Homo-oligomer: A and B are copies of this chain.
Amino acid sequence: MISEYEFEMENYMSFEEFDKFKKFGMGKQTPFIMIDLDIVARKYDDLRNALPQSDVYYAVKANPEVEVLKLLAEKGSYFDVATIYEIDLVLGLGIDPSRISLGNTIKKASDIAYAYSKGVRLFVTDCESDARKIAENAPGSQVFCRILSEGIGASWPLSRKFGCYPDMALEVLTLAHQLGLKPRGVSFHVGSQQYYISQWREALWDTKSVFDGAYERGIKLDLVNIGGGFPVRYNHPIPETVAYGAEIMEYMAEVFGNDIPQTIVEPGRYMTGDSGILAAEVVQISQKEVGGGRSWMYLDVGKFGGMIETLDECIRYPIYSERTGKMLPYTIAGPTCDSVDVMYEKVPYMLPEAIEEGDRIYFFSAGSYTSTYCSVYFNGFPPLRTYILQK
């Protein structure tokens, strides 16, 4: 008989699937991440199936592993890049620049010129000064303007950093038009790991107001970038991808009636999150006072070793140990000499009391926003290794 804890994990990932990861990771020095490309492929197919009219632009920053990019390129994906460094990475794999959008609203003039010289012709913008820089350094290119979104219901916080209000977006696109650029439409992001599908509805209505305003000024917009935000399976159930697709398409029809624009979708976390398992070692288990108190579990991976999204305990990865039996609440911390490097304390993790120092611990859904966030040398720790699972 399996315990409730094991049942919960079985519900997340079959023991057969997990076994494949576990065997592959045997003998490798922790901490490391294993990526299963089959899962990436399945996620891509699910999304294409859920939103058949949308072009998929993979947000490279989520996981820029070469094998991941190659697989997605073969499957026909487009690529959203954040910097000229990511442009070089993608082009280096033989991918055509027409399949790249430069999705960072923060760009030096020289970066825009570099992207243009490499053949990139699709840019996101959110302010007049950036539109001017694009017009000067990438003349005639296509632009979207990003609008602000509230981000309610997202696990990883969304700030006002990217985008502008719709009234400003209209001005930016009008300016872009005057400067000889091709204003294509609006982009938004409802917040990473978004549980509320209705957030797309709000953003689409805002988008429509920009489309209408532009139309009145003689500019016909025809493309909506509905961003990312599709969740991965952390520690509670999420709607099926196909449900997101169906609802978003319903909202499109509600908002745009018979004149439905082309759409682009920009998944990052969604595409690679579930494909990765992080293996760590329990370095130490201790109590702080005589007679008990909460147990502290220290691992050989922490906030500065790739788990930065545990900040404010935002992302709660499913954590698995092979031990069974009685469960205890643990505070979980990383190995560095930084007191901020505590991953979970406010809401502890229930894990088996039988766990011992030297045990392996697994973080599921750790394939996105982990390895590249690693610090270069904090406390001297080498960066997290990534392995691609071999069949």
Contact = CB atoms under 8 A, between A and B. Distances in A.
A288 B378 contact: no
Interface residues of A, number: 79
A108 B283 contact: yes
Contacts of A371: 376
Contacts of A335: 83, 104, 106
Copies of this chain, how many?
Answer: 2
A177 to B, nearest CB: 17
Contacts of A167: 289-290
B108 A300 contact: yes
A243 interface: no
Interface stretch (A71-79, A178-186, A251-259, A340-348): A340-348
A374 B375 contact: yes
Interface string A369-382: 00111111111111
Interface in A323-379: 333, 335-342, 345, 357-358, 371-379
A127 B105 CA distance: 49
A82 B298 CA distance: 14
Given A372-B375, A380-B86, A381-B83, A283 B107 contact: yes
A383 interface: yes
Residue of A106, A108, A160, A167 with highest tally of chain B CB at under 10 A: A106
A130 interface: yes
Interface stretch (A41-49, A151-159, A194-202): A151-159
Given A82-B337, A378-B373, A165 B288 contact: yes
A29 to B, nearest CB: 10
Contacts of A358: 109
A272 to B, nearest CB: 14
Nearest to A294: B160
A287 interface: yes
A159 B340 contact: yes
A247 interface: no
A144 interface: no
B159 A339 contact: yes
22 contacts: A59-B337, A60-B380, A64-B377, A82-B379, A83-B381, A85-B379, A85-B380, A85-B382, A86-B379, A104-B336, A106-B298, A106-B333, A106-B335, A108-B300, A128-B286, A129-B284, A157-B340, A162-B339, A164-B288, A304-B308, A375-B375, A375-B376
Top 9 A-B pairs ranked by shortest CB distance? A85-B380, A127-B286, A82-B379, A86-B380, A82-B337, A159-B339, A165-B289, A83-B380, A106-B298
